[in-house]
């Protein structure tokens, strides 16, 4: 009787392993937001991104530095340090659905604002 149970258990484990290999796991993705547009405007590009819970946004310093990204009420998402060098970047992961508005501290008055929508 125990050999039959062992065989059934081994078959079940084997099936689970096969299913794990056949069914692709969901992978988080990363979306890039440029700080300063390619044509030199004081804006995030794109200014609005829509992602899924668990995805990340990579902020990349582009033009007319210095820039940062501050999320009011979400210090854990904010990057208050100023990026000066072209290509300087940081990545933030968004775990909770919602709409997160952010801005560049030095250029907020110039309208450098953005939004991350997390589904």
**Residues tagged active-site:** 67, 104, 107, 112
Identify whether 66 is preceded by a cis peptide bond (ω within 30 of 0): yes
Which residue is associated with the tokens 């991350």? 116
Q: What's the CA gap between 55 and 96, in Å, rounded?
A: 10
Identify whether 46 is preceded by a cis peptide bond (ω within 30 of 0): yes
């Amino acid at each position: 009787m125990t050999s039959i149970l062992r065989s059934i258990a081994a078959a079940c484990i084997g099936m689970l392993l096969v299913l794990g290999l056949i069914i692709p796991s969901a992978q988080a993705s990363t979306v890039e937001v440029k700080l300063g547009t390619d044509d030199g405007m004081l804006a995030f590009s794109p200014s609005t991104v829509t992602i899924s819970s668990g995805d990340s946004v990579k902020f990349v310093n582009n033009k007319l530095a210095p820039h940062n990204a501050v999320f009011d009420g979400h210090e854990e998402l904010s990057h208050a340090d100023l990026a000066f060098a072209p290509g300087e970047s940081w990545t933030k992961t968004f775990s909770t659905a919602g709409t997160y508005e952010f801005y560049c501290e030095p250029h907020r008055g110039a309208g450098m604002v953005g939004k991350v929508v997390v589904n």
